[in-house]
Structure 1
C-alpha cells in the first residue's frame, strides 16, 4: 500500500531507462551499418503479486468499504483467533471471550448484543466463497483461521458478490493451497496461561494438480480459573486443471474442540478478582466438518460459470461439563452457489460487466435436545429442520466514462424459518406459541458510484437495503417452553467515503448511516447459576439508527537507503447507535459496543529481517443495558512485538507481549434490560499481561 514517491526507482524502471538511452544514442550517432549492431537483451522483471495483493486490487473496485488482511502479517505474532486477524480494521469489533475462538465480532453494530460464547451474528462468514453461516448462525470453532492465506472483509452491502444481505456484510477466508503455499511448513507457539499451538503442513504442484494438507493442535489452560480449552484440526484441499476452460478444487475442514468458558463478572470482580469463575460452562464439538468444492468453467475470455457446493456438520454438546441440563445440538447444512459472470460487454454503448448469482443454504437437519444430567430424562426437544436462506442476485458495473463507474444490483430473497417444540416438560403460560413456521419474500436493491479523481484518489458512495433473518435458536431452544415469532430485521444504509494514496500516506475514510426497522436485539433474562444455564431472549425492536465513521491511515514515516522502514498504522471507529423515539427508552444509546475505538501499530522493519513493533488499543466506556444506567469501563491496552524473518525465508521467530500495563478490563459484556444503576455479573475479563513466543520453519 502507499505511493512509491521518494523511493528508489525499481529494477524494471532502471532497465527501461537504460534500454531507451541506448536506442537514442544509436539513432543519434547515425551508424552506417545499424544492421550489424545489436543492442544487448534487456530483461524486465517485477515482483509477482501475492494472492492478498491481487484480492485488494479487485476489492478496491467496489464502491464501498472493503479490506484485505494478509495472514503472513498476522503470523508475525500470535495467531489464534479472529481477534488477532481482524485487529486494526476500522468499523470491525473483534474480541475473544475466555481466550477461545468464541469471539464477539461485529461490523457496524451487526449482531449488536448477541450471545458471545458460541455464535457470531449479523455477518456472513465464508471459506473460499462457500458459506459456513446458515439458518442456525455461525459456529465459532471454524473461526480459528487455521491454514488461511488472507481474509477479505466486505462491509455491509459491499458483500453483494457473496449474496450477503446482512447489516455487517461478509468475511471470506481464503485457504492456502499447493500453489500459494508449496513445500513443508512447521509452526510452534507457546505462551502464558498454558497456551500451546502446533501446526504442520505440506503442499505442492504435480502436473496439472496441486494439493495442500495441514494438521493443527491447540490448547490453553486459561486466564480465568478452570477455563481450559483444546482443539484439533485437519485441513486439506486438492485442485486440478482439466483444461484451459475447466478447473475445480475440493475442500475439507475438520475440527474437534473441547472448551470451558468462564462466567461473567461484576465490575468489582473485574477489578479485584478477575480470575474467579464460579459458574463455568463447557462446550464440546465432536467433529465440525466442512466439505466443499468450487468448479469454474470458462466459456470464453469474457464469460465464466462458477459452481460451489458445500456440506456443513456442526455437532455441539452444550453444557458438556457442569450444566444440570446439557443440550445436544445437531446442525447439518447444504449449500449451493451458482455464479455466471460476463465481462467486457456493452450496455447502452458503454463498457459493462454483469453477474447473476444464486445461493441456497438449507438446514436439512437441525434440532436441539436437553435432558437432566442426574436422571437422563428428556426435558425438551426443539426442531429447526427445513429452515432456509435463498438469494438470487443480479449485478452490473457500467463504466460511464474514463473515471466514473456505476454499480447496480437487485437481490430477490426467500427466508424460511421453522422452529417447533416437539416435546417439553415445561408448561407454556405465556402468550407465545409452541411453534413458528413462515416463508418470507423480499427484495434488496443496491446502487453505487465510484469516481477516480486521480489514479491515487477514489471517491465512492452507495445506497443499499439489507435483510437480516433471525437464526433458528433466536426463535427458541431449550430454556423456555415457547417460541418467539422473531421477524427479519431490515435496513436502508447510505455510505460515502474516499480511498487515497499520497506520498508517504495511504488510507480511507467512510461515513455511513443505517435506518433499521425490527432490529433483532437480545437481552439476558436469567444469569447462569450452579443450577441453571443462562437464558437469553431475542425480539424485534422499535426503529433504530446505526451510524458512524471508519478511518484508517497508514504512513511510511521513514525509509533508509538499505530498505529499512518505519511504518505507522492507525484505525479509528466512531459508533453511534440509538433508538428512534422508543416508547420506553426514548432516544437511548444501544448497549454493548464502545462509542470510540482507536488502534495503532508502529513497526520498525529491517531489510535484513529483524522487526520491532509497539501497538495500542483504546476503547471508550459503553452502556450494558437499554436503560443506559450502568456501563463497562473504558480501557487502553499496550503491546509490543519483536521478531526475525530469515532472508532465506526458511525460518522466522517472534516474541509477542500483550497488555504490558496489566490492565484489568472487559473484552465484552452481556446486555441486560435495566441494570438500575447496579453492578451485576455481565463482564468478560480480558487477559492480564501475557507473552507468546513462536518459531516457524519452511523446508
Structure 2
C-alpha cells in the first residue's frame, strides 16, 4: 500500500491551495443565502422554501449549468414521486466520511458501512445481495456518471465535503437523468464560483486515527467563474487491517456567453488506498469486532484506486425551451489484491442531451422533458495469483469487457388544472455486455448479451395548496447485469436476464413553519432480480436471477419544532426522524418459497432532538435503531441481531466565519453488525459479517471568508 507520507503532503497542499489561487479571486462572489432547510430532518429542519412548482430556471446573472439549492428544490417538485434535496448544511457539521453521513436522514435510503470509506447503499432494496461494489443505483457527480458503464459503483471516490447539495431520486423518479434502476439515482453537486465562498478551509480529527483536511476556493471574473476543492484524508480504522488514505480533488470552470448561454468544464481526480479487514463469522463480529479475518491479513488484501474524470456541460436557453448537452470521459485504474490479485483499467466515455420545454398550449401549461444518454466503456481486466504480502503471481485470467448503454427518455406533465398535472413518459434502454477472453488455457469464456427494454411511467401530481403536494405513479425499471460477477462459462451465466420491475407509488410532502413531512408508500414487483450470492470468502459472489420478488415499504420523514423561545425569541428544539419500513420477500420461489429477502433491516429509524439557537449554536442527542433482527441468507437460517446506537453532538455555525462541532458516536460502545455479505444458505461458520464501529469521538473546525 502507498505510504502515508503522500497524504501528509496532501494535507499541507490542501491549505496552500488557498494562497495559490488568491491571484485569481477577482470581481465579486455571490454567497449563498443561509436558510433553514431540509424536509427530511438531519442537521436542519423546517424549510423556508415551499414545494411549489415554479420554474427552476436560473435567473439572469446566476449559473445556467448548475442550479442553486433553491432551483434544485423547485425542479424536483415536478416529480410525482419520492425525491429529496439534501443541502450541505445537513452533513458538513459532522465528520462526513461516507455517504452514510450525508444520507442517513433520508427515509428509504439504507447505508451500511463496511470499513473506512466503503459502504453498501440500498434504496428500495436495490443491490441487496451486494457486499462489495454497489448495483441498482445510478450515481452522478455534477450529472457525470460515477458508475462504470456496466452499472457497478463504489463510493471510495466520493468526498462529502466537496458538494453544495445532494439530489436523491428514488426508483423510477430518476427519469430526468435517463436513469432506470430499481433504486433510482443520486446526484452529487459541487458549487460554482457564483455560489461559493472565496476561501473555505476545514480540518477534522477523531477516533481510530482519523484526520482530514480540506480547502476550497471560488470566484467570478467577468463572464468566467471558477471553483476548486482539494482534500486529504487518512485513518487507521476501527478494525485491524482497515487503514487507508485518500487525496480527492474537484474543479469546474464556467463561461457565460450571454445570460442565456453557458458552458462549464469539470475535472475530478482521486487517489485512494485502503486495506480490507474482510468478513468474519457472526460470533467473531459480535465478540471481537476489531479483529480482521486472518486470511485477509495473510494476503494483505487491499483496494487502491487512481481515477480522473473530465467533462463539459453546456446550457442554452431559448425562451420557453432549455437545452443541456455534454460529454464526459472517466479513466480509472484499480489495483486490488484480494482472493486473487485483480489489476484492471476502466475507460468510460459518453454524452447526453436533454431538452426541457415549459409553455402554454391551448390555454394549458405543458412541461416536456426528453433526452438521450450514451454511456459506453471498456474494462481491461487481468487477474493473478495473490501471493502472501500482496504480490502478483501467475496470470489466471485476462479479458477485455465492453459495455454499451444507450437510453432515450421522455416525460410530459400536462396541467389539467393550474395545480394538477398528469404525467406520462417512458425510457427505452439498449444495453450490450461483450467479453473477449484473452486467457484461453482454461477454456474460452467470451460471450455477448444484448438487452432492449422499454419502461413506461404514468403519474399524477396535485399541489393541494402552497407547501403541500400529493402524488402517485406507476413506473417500470430495468437493469442489465454487471461484469464483475458474470461469466460466460455456463448456460446459467450466459443466459442471465435483465432485472425488471413495475413499481406502484403514492405519497405526500409538505412544509409548514414548524412542521415538515415527506411520506411515500410503494410496491415493486420485480422479475429476474439479480442476486450475487456469497459461497466462499475465497472467491467472488455468484450472480443469479431470482424469478419473482416483491419489494414494498414505507418511507417517512418528519421534522417538528417545539419548546420555542427557551432562551431567545427564535430558538427552538427540533425533533427530526427518518423511518424506513422494508418488506422484501420472494414470491413463490421454487427454492425459497415466500422467504424474506436478506440484507437490510425490516425497520430502520434515525431520530434526533436538536436545540438550535439563532446565533448558530446547536446541540442534541440522536439515535440509530434497528429494532428487529433481519436475515443474512435467502434460506432465512441466520440473522443479524437488532441494535440501537446513541450519539450526541454540539456545535456552532453562523453561516460564515468560524464554525465547529464535536460529535460522539455509539456512546455505550455497542457491539453490532453493520453489513452482511448475502449467502444462499448460511450457518454459524459462514464468514459473511462486518462489525460496526465502536465508541468514537470526532471534532472539526471550519473557516469561511
TM-score bracket, shorter-length normalisation: 0.7 to 0.9
Q: In the TM superposition, what is the alpha-carbon distance from 1:653 to its structure 2 partner?
A: 1.2
1:201 is matched with which residue? 216
Cα distance, 1:372 vs. partner? 5.3
In the TM superposition, residue 221 of structure 1 has moved relative to its aligned partner by 0.2
Residues 337, 425 of structure 1: alpha-carbon distance in 2 compared, 3 angstrom cutoff: same
Distance 1:518 1:191, change over 3 A: same
List aligned pairs for 1:298-377, cutoff 5 A.
Answer: 298=317, 300-319=318-337, 323=338, 325-346=340-361, 349-371=363-385, 373=387, 376-377=393-394
Superposed displacement of residue 68, structure 1: 1.1
Q: Is 2:558 the partner of 1:553? A: yes
1:626 equivalent in structure 2? 634
The Cα of 1:51 is off from its aligned counterpart by 2.6
Contact (CA 8 Å) 2:126, 2:136: kept in 1 or not? yes
Superposed CA offset, 1:242-284 (max 9, x none): 1123201111110001101212122211222111112335334
Query: Contact 2:135–2:151 (CA<8 Å) still a contact in 1?
Result: no
* 1:489-508 correspondence runs (5 A): 489-502=499-512, 504-508=514-518
Query: Any unmatched runs of 5+ in structure 2?
Result: 1-36, 40-47, 49-65
Once the two structures are TM-superposed, the CA of residue 143 in structure 1 deviates from its matched residue by: 2.5
| Residue 664 (1) aligns with residue 671 (2) | yes
Instruction: Give the Cα–Cα distance (whole angstroms) in 2 for the partners of residues 139 and 648 of structure 1.
Output: 32
CA RMSD, Structure 1 to Structure 2 (Å): 2.2
Tell me which residue corresponds to 2:53: none
- Is contact 1:136-1:331 (8 Å) kept? no
Structure 1 residue 2: deviation in Å?
9.0
Match of 1:541 in 2: 546
Q: d(CA) in 1 for partners of 2:551 and 2:447?
A: 29
Question: 1:565 deviation in Å?
Answer: 1.9
1:217 to 1:71, Cα distance in 2 relative to 1, 3 A:
same
Cα offset, 1:453, TM superposition: 2.1
Residue pair 1:420, 1:483 contacting (<8 A) in 2 also? no
Q: State the Cα deviation string for residues 39-75 of structure 1 (Å, max 9, x = none).
A: xxxxxxxxxx993233223212211001111112211
Contact kept? 1:2, 1:501, Cα under 8 Å = no
Please say which of residues 131-140 and 336-345 is displaced more in the overlay. 131-140
Rg bigger for which structure?
1
The one of 64, 70, 87 aligned to 2:104 = 87
**Shift, 1:218, TM fit:** 0.3
Written as runs of structure 1 = structure 2, the 5 A alignment for 1:226-237 is 226-237=241-252
CA contact (8 A) 2:606 2:625 kept: yes
Contact 1:476 1:483 in 2 (8 A): yes
Q: Deviations over 1:304-329 (max 9, x none)?
A: 2111211111210111xxx4731101
Counterparts of 1:372 and 1:502, CA distance in 2: 58
Q: Per the alignment, do residues 401 and 104 of structure 1 end up closer, same or farther by CA in structure 2, a change over 3 Å counting?
A: same
Post-superposition offset of 1:480? 11
1:140 aligned counterpart, secondary structure: coil
Distance 1:284 1:342 in 2: 45
Residues 1:655 and 2:671 are matched in the alignment: no
2:595 paired residue number = 588
Q: 2:192 aligned with 1:181, yes or no?
A: no
8 Å Cα contact 2:563/2:573 also seen in 1: yes
**Shift in alpha-carbon separation, 1:570–1:375, aligned structure 2, 3 A:** closer
Matched, 1:283 2:302: yes
Aligned match of 1:261: 276
Structure-2 separation of matches of 1:480 and 1:194: 46
Q: Which residue in 2 is equivalent to 1:467? A: 478
Q: CA deviation at 1:136?
A: 4.8
* C-alpha contact (below 8 Å) 2:90/2:102 kept by paired residues: no
Give the Cα–Cα distance (whole angstroms) in 2 for the partners of residues 484 and 617 of structure 1.
42
Is residue 144 of structure 2 the alignment partner of residue 130 of structure 1? yes
2:438 maps to: 422
Whether 1:436 aligns to 2:447 is: yes
Instruction: Check conservation: 2:138, 2:151, Cα contact below 8 A.
Output: no
SS in 2 for 1:472: coil
5+ residue gaps, structure 1: 4-9, 11-48, 529-533
In the alignment, what sits opposite 1:682?
688
Residues 372-408 of structure 1, C-alpha deviations (whole Å, 9 max, x = no match)? 54674211112212x1111011221110112211111
Residues in 1 aligned to 2:280 and 2:424: alpha-carbon distance in whole angstroms:
48
Partner of 1:644: 652
2:123 maps to 1:112: no
Deviates more, 1:308-317 or 1:153-162: 308-317
Q: Distance in 2 between matches of 1:70 and 1:312?
A: 26
Question: Is the alpha carbon distance of 1:622 and 1:2 closer, same or farther for their aligned partners in structure 2, counting shifts above 3 Å?
Answer: closer
Larger RCO: 1 or 2 (CA < 8 Å, sep 6+)? 2
Q: Is the 8 A contact 1:368 1:382 kept in 2?
A: yes
Q: 1:306 to 1:569 in 2, by over 3 A?
A: same
Partner of 2:395: 378
CA drift at 1:484:
4.3
Query: How far is the alpha carbon of 1:146 from its aligned partner?
Result: 4.1
Question: Are 1:523 and 2:533 matched, yes or no?
Answer: yes
TM-score using structure 2 length = 0.86
Give me the whole-angstrom Cα distance separating, in 1, the residues matched to 2:614 and 2:351: 46
Query: CA–CA distance in 1 between the matches of 2:262 and 2:545?
Result: 45
Moved more, 388-397 or 164-173: 388-397
Aligned pair count reads: 633
Pick aligned residue for 1:446 from 446, 452, 457: 457
Q: 1:609 to 1:136 in 2, by over 3 A?
A: closer
- With over 3 angstroms needed to count, the CA separation of the structure-2 counterparts of 1:71 and 1:648, relative to structure 1, is closer
**Structure-1 separation of matches of 2:339 and 2:599:** 29
The one-character-per-residue Cα deviations of 1:639-677 (angstroms, maximum 9, x if unpaired) are 1101112x472111110110011011111001111125x
Q: Look up the SS of the partner of 1:315 in the other structure.
A: strand
Residue equivalent to 2:57: none
Q: Aligned partners of 1:418, 1:598: CA distance in 2, in Å?
A: 42
- Give distance in 1, aligned partners of 2:267 and 2:698: 29
Instruction: Please report how far the alpha carbon of residue 697 of structure 1 lies from its aligned counterpart in structure 2 after TM superposition.
Output: 1.1
In the TM superposition, what is the alpha-carbon distance from 1:226 to its structure 2 partner? 1.9
Partners of 1:631 and 1:324 in 2: CA distance: 26
Aligned match of 1:562 = 569
Q: C-alpha distance in 2, partners of 1:483/1:642? A: 52
